[in-house]
Chain A
Amino acid sequence: MDQRNQFHRQVALMRQSLFDQGYIDEQFVQLEELQDDTNPNFVEEVVTLYYRDSARLIVSIEQALDKSPLDFNKLDSLMHQFKGSSSSIGARKVKAECTQFREYCKAENGEG
């Protein structure tokens, strides 16, 4: 029991730090709210799904980056997808990075 409580506390702390550091945002809270008894692992499922999907996306992005010349349009659309997913789960920082990445794409800034 005690151990469980400890775990809970740890998890809560970690979660809070994620928020504080800006890794996640309000949307995540919404996800949490969606979780209920009928679907107790909702958040977990979604995040797992997200990881899988974004891993795939990242691979594609890497491949696109390796090409030269850089196909900015493709990169942009990949980024758009990534951004959409990230924002859906509340991954704020990732989303911000995506946005910036897209700016670079628009400017055709390969270095960025």
Chain B
Amino acid sequence: MSTSTWKSGESVSEQFPAGLRVLVVDDDPTCLKIVEKMLKTCNYEVTTCNRAEKALALLQAHRNGFDIVISDVHMPDMDGFKLLERIGLEMDLPVIMMSADDGKQVVMKGVTHGACDYLIKPIRIEELKNIWQHVVRKRKNEWKELEQSTSIEDGVDRAHKQSEDADYSSSANEGGNWKSSKRRKDEEDELEERDDTSTLKKPRVVWSVELHQQFVAAVNQLGIDKAVPKKILELMNVPGLTRENVASHLQKYRLYLRRLSGVSQHQGGVSNSFMGTQDATFSPISSLTGLDLQTLAVTGQLPPQSLATLQAVGFARPSPKSGLSIPMIDQRNLFSFDNSKFKFGEGQGQQQQQQPNLGNNKQLNLLHGIPTTMEPKQLANLHQSLENISNMQVPVSQGNSILMHRGTARLPPNVGQPVTSNGLPGGLLPRNGHAENGRGAGGYTNPVPQTTSSAALTFPLNHGTELPGTNSFPPLGSPPGIQSLTHKGQFPQDITVNSEIKGSTAGGFIPGYYVLNDLQQLRSHDWELQNVGLNFDSPQSASSLPGSLESASSSLYVQQGISRSGPLRNSSSGGSKPSFPVEGTHNQNLGSIVNSSVRIKSENVVDAGCPSTLYPEHFGQEDLMSALLKQQEGIGPGNPDFDFDGYNIDNIPV
């Protein structure tokens, strides 16, 4: 069956979403015809296919010929989910499932296999009218991802993409650009990206959905017990991916799985497991917020998963101890795993985990741990945790509960929303300088300079309004909103963040992230934390942030904002030097944001002890930062003094 011709390139941006190229796969001819007609009525370009194999062949033959795929679940020649996976892995196109079957298990299966949406038959035209949103969203994420991975090389990459874009045209201009650039980047430039990043201090691997799916497929193929990084690497066959990347990701994944099975309620289970693995050290961080944040940061890597991370963070908070003494790195790792784990499972949508616990402990942690580099994803997570923190406003230890709530509020999976975290920072500030700071600070080094910065920046903006003061707990609801704003840039996954953030301090954060090799995932978290912290500071910081993002100085501002609580603020502002030596120029930008986070982080990272002075102010920030930093551990500039002017990613001990 096939009909409409697919175009390989014209962009019809003006008429978008008209002209969207859809491939429909269904063995039922009646339904196929009806859907085809409906799509045509929506002015889309339709190609139909009644066999999955044929569909795959078509997709492979016309690599950029389709924008979205709609597939039936039950098909005689191939299972719809298998097709979904294949498409996701090979082409990374958004796929919508449809079926007369509306059982929860089936729908859940669709979600876990990565479907963008699930439609129940009979299909109504209204539902089809809306499918373009998935295309745009996916492109946006891809773009951000690309940006992220090449944060440092951001400009280069972007230019790259742009030129490539010219060749690719898709139905939507922007979409096409993103798509093509992203696609090119992902498919062809992956290696290049890696190279780029490798030139930077530490190459950061962005675990995109696609990549992750490949990873999961490889792991499942080998068997979760037998899956060794080397074999996984071979199976995945992704150029530029190192065994180390796979190893760390696998670790996270394992934790995630463990968490899934072991966690009945998000908080107890996860954190326990985390704690267990980590050992006592966590407890200091336990302030939970830190932990949570960390996890959040960690998970940053995983797409959507911002929620997951939050949850993870929540989990991570095994015991609200305020002593961040826990080695940040450990925490971070845990978090990352958790986060990643969460991401895995929860990315799908579980944010529920946000767990209220986060609020409790997290508060403190969040502040400290706010790694500057948190990637958007992480930020989102952090955000949540931060929220908790902010809510907590109360001295971290005490406020925990409140923060948790915030955290629970769950930052939108998009993580990009560090904004929420902003609220937290303020609240968290009360925590005084706990080791948490070290948490965040240490970790990030550059990896996500861009995204984080943006995230951070956005936060302030959003946050400013939201986070009234440290003491008041900004309504949970609001942070999420803010988050989205801030996240814009932040998505670790989305590379765009970098570009956006450029100006924002968030950029600085990102670099921090990169430093953390392992923490990559954490980065996102950190970022969130950072942002959160920043935003927290107060609206003013928000305003200042946007502007200041550009300059490191602004970051300071942000920090100050975070320190709303006052005391922290001073220290933070003082300490946060706008310029973070973070690896790339980004750091500078982010510097301000990063600074705050860095400071926190570095403190945390450096040693639990140091940062305390600075942190106290930032509590909220610190937690985030510490969380972030923790992740970054390696990145953290170990400046014990809070003045981290810009933390050098390199310095951050991972």
A residues near B (Cβ < 8 Å) are 27, 30-31, 33-34, 36, 39, 42, 45-46, 49-50, 52-54, 77, 80-81, 83-85, 87-90
Contacts and interface: CB of A to CB of B under 8 A. Distances in A.
B599 to A, nearest CB: 59
Interface in B1-38: 27-31, 33-34, 37-38
B37 A90 contact: no
A84 B124 contact: no
B78 interface: no
B91 interface: no
Contacts of B29: 49, 52-53
30 contacts: A27-B122, A30-B124, A30-B125, A31-B34, A33-B125, A34-B37, A34-B38, A34-B125, A46-B37, A49-B29, A49-B33, A50-B30, A52-B29, A53-B28, A54-B30, A80-B100, A81-B74, A84-B74, A84-B99, A84-B100, A85-B28, A85-B30, A85-B31, A87-B121, A87-B122, A88-B28, A88-B30, A88-B34, A89-B122, A90-B122
Contacts of B121: 84, 87-88
Contacts of A89: 30, 34, 122
Most buried by A among B37, B72, B100: B100
Interface string B123-134: 111000000000
Contacts of B27: 81
Interface in B121-180: 121-125
Interface in B60-110: 72, 74, 99-101
A110 B98 CA distance: 29
A42 B30 CA distance: 12
A84 B34 contact: no
Given A52-B29, A81-B27, 14 more contacts: A27-B122, A30-B122, A30-B125, A31-B34, A46-B37, A49-B29, A50-B30, A53-B28, A54-B30, A80-B100, A81-B74, A88-B28, A88-B34, A89-B30
B199 interface: no
Contacts of A87: 100, 121-122
B41 interface: yes
Interface residues on B, range: 20 to 34
Contacts of A49: 29-30, 33
A6 B123 CA distance: 34
Contact of B34 (A36, A46, A52, A54): A46
Nearest to A83: B100
A90 B30 CA distance: 11
Contacts of A27: 122, 124
Contacts of B99: 84
A100 B498 CA distance: 55
A3 B28 CA distance: 38
Contacts of B41: 34, 36
A81 B28 contact: yes
A38 B101 CA distance: 32
Contacts of A88: 28, 30-31, 34, 121-123
A100 B121 CA distance: 17
Contact of A84 (B28, B37, B38): B28
A42 B35 CA distance: 12
Interface string B518-548: 0000000000000000000000000000000
Contact of B37 (A42, A81, A83): A42
A71 B38 CA distance: 36
Interface in B393-419: none
Nearest to A87: B122
Given A34-B37, A39-B37, A77-B74, A84 B31 contact: yes
A58 to B, nearest CB: 14
A112 to B, nearest CB: 20
Nearest to A47: B30
A80 B31 CA distance: 13
A65 to B, nearest CB: 19
A53 B125 CA distance: 22
Most buried by A among B29, B31, B72, B125: B31
Nearest to A90: B122
Contacts of B34: 31, 34, 46, 88-89
